[in-house]
Structure 1
């Protein structure tokens, strides 16, 4: 195993020794007869980890788990039982740059080695602020398609360009993770925020095999390091439910991204265990059901009313666009504008009757008719952060979440509308920062966490297609490059709301077919995914990185997703070759 670390970045170590049921089992021998763990810098003598970090030996933990060794075992329902002995070393850091070798000796002669690289970064701060825009699931092909529908052409030449097109630096990042070529939004966001690859569903942890999703070894995030070392202020904006993976990755640490209630509690109270707490200045998005208690239909951590919990810690509570625009810039702000994900740009601005499909954040089950967009949330977040941070600076993550969510359901029109809204937000942000003289001291990044398979292969005469009675006569264009369920395509806007491409014909069968009520005048296309899938999936494609401002040159070329973290850390001057006074 190989891993990179920022000098001074806190992390945990979890040691696990596995013994399958058909092997020898632990019988209570002293720990040093079961396994030992040493760490040493290249060229220097290795030491026991307790000596290296001056730690007390932690308690030995034991548990077991079951797993399928291969697909044949899964089909035969034959699980293997594995016994585990483990120890965890919490909140440690490496301060001296260089290469280290970590060695686990176990089972009377077995050995596993890991190579760790502590990167040598300058401590000079070059940017006061950083804005990280995430177009969730956004690829270069989608940007091309959005430009096509959003900007006028004459004689094959665009008469205007997207804001992203005007950035001085463009690069590409590789998105694959530890356990899968194809990432989800949790481990891909974790890589951007910590500089460490992880596994599917993990937020800023290395997955272990324990039953507790909160005891996995943690890695400190860019937001946590920035606040701990500089006192800088942090904000989160998303058009998703706010406990979703991408916003959660700024400060959450769990193996299961689905622990929404605990994630909301983390925003307010931190993760505990002597870990860095970030007092977030701004939290804007959807997901009200994780804030109001069960008596109103919510599902919250310990059934608390988190509107009350946040208000008790001096947050102003904002629940609609009108209140957002008039909110104080002096106070911390929690803005929750709907249950679940926020309404899409197309429905907020064109098909407004569809807003009846969004529910109020109060829990009273009335429609959420007064929702802000990404631009309004982002500009207000900047104003609050700028007002409250003083000379300490700020870090803001702003996510256009439903590019991804609409690509999943093959609703390309809404997905591209979300992408155009992101680009409009980027343009407005640049103009706003320029008007307040903050632009020159702010690094602006626009990238994605992963991609989706998508391209434009031609155009469709939808009127002609709908008039044909024979499916084969409708096949006058390339069908595209996607990993999709069965569906019907007519390549037309779904005016009644977001698309549902595939459904179960027989309830609880996990067998999905093309939705007979979707694209009825279109062509039936066979899916390429297992039949239990009712949506499209992510892809392996590299995703673009646009950079403007201090350190923009660091983001040129093609590199791994973890380098986004290290480049931001460089720009903030967060590398520490020796323990800080805080420690």
Structure 2
């Protein structure tokens, strides 16, 4: 379906002038960022963004191509080079390590540099690379993680865990003597204020009943009840805290008075947005989780760092579920809208990016308004059958709004993003004075 109005030369000339005037009104914000929110659309490459833009417009009754996603209105845009130290086409572990710590590493490794190899023996977590989480905590800021994957999956794990294999999510999957990723989250990172996502079966003992599913579906072989350990830690500190396992319980939390919130809403990954149970006893949306996180973290006068991952975009692409991937982008956009409405661009830096791209493309010569999707579960055909669709090595976009957002332009190495965020918030010992922009030591 074409647009109903006639789009002659005057239409496009006026539209171009309007966009140009908006760009000319941009002024660099060089304040220190009190808060940082990093949105990661896992696998959200440029074709995925384009398809989501079209889908959004078509759901609103338009042809779709002219639609703009909210983060596409951010004043500064750049490109991120996503290769990792030993691979051209990366995974989420090495890319997340780059995004959080400023160091590129090897395929499937978490918070370690490339001097360590995949599946090397246990590494002392204390020797892991510091990053945005640790720098923020050292500066007295509150911190939070929101994801639609298991909380132990590669992207969130790269914030807090150290492992030479991203798959070491529970003791069942981890070599003897190593501390698994779920255990590291609870026992070594008790200062993370907000933890919202999936993967409850990775935190309950082998003989335990999962509070989400009400059955014994533990992924552990030991007797560690990590959820109870989290509760015990907060009670020992006499710290305000709440635990939630469904939407109703999350909404019942008064986040204005809760310093610590743990929410695990599925046994494994959370559901695709198209499949999500939207009843009170179902799973909250990524937007609802983001709202709670921001409301809670905003109580800290020193500010906060929050990472929000739209994880199911990637997982849908791995199954060639293009429609599900795109609807998860739209749910991700709703979470970004929550952040835009609940923060101030004068003191909050918001970054939207992807860790890597996927192989989905839009091609051929379809007419304007062409419906680009079929049934929800339709899997697009592939020339070569594989167990899982692959990532893509192309650059991904970075969208930036707020203090020092002008740093996120041009073509950037992915690991520079974390340093630019640290500089914006004046956190971390990155060797650059955040007030003068000059190097502080001679080894740079």
Normalized against structure 1, the TM-score is what?
Answer: 0.59
State the secondary structure of the residue aligned to 1:335. Answer: strand
**Do residues 447 (structure 1) and 353 (structure 2) align?**
yes
* Corresponding position of 1:493: 375
Give, in angstroms, the shift of residue 404 of structure 1.
0.3
Stretches of structure 1 lacking an aligned partner (at least 5 in a row): 1-123, 271-276, 356-367, 462-476, 478-489, 502-518, 579-583
Aligned ranges 1:359-508 → 2 under 5 Å: 370-387=282-299, 389=300, 391-433=301-343, 438-458=344-364, 492-494=374-376
Deviations 1:7-61 (A, max 9, x none): xxxxxxxxxxxxxxxxxxxxxxxxxxxxxxxxxxxxxxxxxxxxxxxxxxxxxxx
* Corresponding position of 2:151: 242
State the secondary structure of the residue aligned to 1:224. Answer: helix
Aligned ranges 1:248-267 → 2 under 5 Å: 248-261=157-170, 262-267=180-185
Normalized against structure 2, the TM-score is what?
Answer: 0.77
Give, in angstroms, the shift of residue 268 of structure 1.
2.2
**Do residues 343 (structure 1) and 266 (structure 2) align?**
no
Distance in 2 between residues matched to 1:555 and 1:215, nearest whole Å: 33
* Corresponding position of 2:68: 161
Give, in angstroms, the shift of residue 155 of structure 1.
9.2
Give, in angstroms, the shift of residue 158 of structure 1.
5.5
* Corresponding position of 1:117: none
Work out whether residues 245 and 263 of structure 2, in 8 Å CA contact, stay in contact via their aligned partners in 1.
yes
**Do residues 288 (structure 1) and 214 (structure 2) align?**
no
* Corresponding position of 1:551: 404
Distance in 1 between residues matched to 2:220 and 2:401, nearest whole Å: 39
Q: Out of 42, 47, 54, which is 1:141 matched to?
A: 47
Work out whether residues 147 and 156 of structure 2, in 8 Å CA contact, stay in contact via their aligned partners in 1.
yes
Distance in 2 between residues matched to 1:147 and 1:312, nearest whole Å: 45
State the secondary structure of the residue aligned to 2:270. Answer: coil
Work out whether residues 90 and 391 of structure 2, in 8 Å CA contact, stay in contact via their aligned partners in 1.
yes
Name which one, 1 or 2, has greater alpha-carbon Rg: 1
Distance in 1 between residues matched to 2:411 and 2:142, nearest whole Å: 30
* Corresponding position of 1:42: none
* Corresponding position of 2:27: none
Which is bigger in relative contact order (C-alpha 8 A, separation at least 6)? 2
Work out whether residues 460 and 491 of structure 1, in 8 Å CA contact, stay in contact via their aligned partners in 2.
no
CA RMSD of aligned residues (A): 2.8
Work out whether residues 201 and 268 of structure 2, in 8 Å CA contact, stay in contact via their aligned partners in 1.
yes
Give, in angstroms, the shift of residue 542 of structure 1.
0.2
Distance in 2 between residues matched to 1:202 and 1:457, nearest whole Å: 34
Give, in angstroms, the shift of residue 552 of structure 1.
0.5
Deviations 1:255-288 (A, max 9, x none): 1111213222222222xxxxxx560000000101
Distance in 1 between residues matched to 2:148 and 2:314, nearest whole Å: 11
Q: Out of 408, 416, 426, which is 1:563 matched to?
A: 416
Distance in 2 between residues matched to 1:155 and 1:347, nearest whole Å: 25
* Corresponding position of 1:116: none
Distance in 1 between residues matched to 2:359 and 2:348, nearest whole Å: 32
Change (3 A) 1:417 1:459: farther
Stretches of structure 2 lacking an aligned partner (at least 5 in a row): 1-29, 171-179, 208-215, 235-240, 433-444
Work out whether residues 57 and 63 of structure 2, in 8 Å CA contact, stay in contact via their aligned partners in 1.
no
* Corresponding position of 1:212: 121
Work out whether residues 265 and 301 of structure 1, in 8 Å CA contact, stay in contact via their aligned partners in 2.
no
* Corresponding position of 2:22: none
Distance in 2 between residues matched to 1:182 and 1:380, nearest whole Å: 35
Report how many aligned residue pairs link the two structures: 370
Deviations 1:367-409 (A, max 9, x none): x95110100000100011112x2x2110000000011000011
State the secondary structure of the residue aligned to 2:399. Answer: strand
Distance in 2 between residues matched to 1:301 and 1:128, nearest whole Å: 42
| Structure with a larger share of its residues in strand | 1
Q: Out of 487, 506, 526, which is 2:383 matched to?
A: 526
State the secondary structure of the residue aligned to 1:403. Answer: helix
State the secondary structure of the residue aligned to 1:545. Answer: strand
* Corresponding position of 2:107: 200
Work out whether residues 294 and 303 of structure 1, in 8 Å CA contact, stay in contact via their aligned partners in 2.
yes
Work out whether residues 56 and 64 of structure 2, in 8 Å CA contact, stay in contact via their aligned partners in 1.
no
Give, in angstroms, the shift of residue 456 of structure 1.
1.2
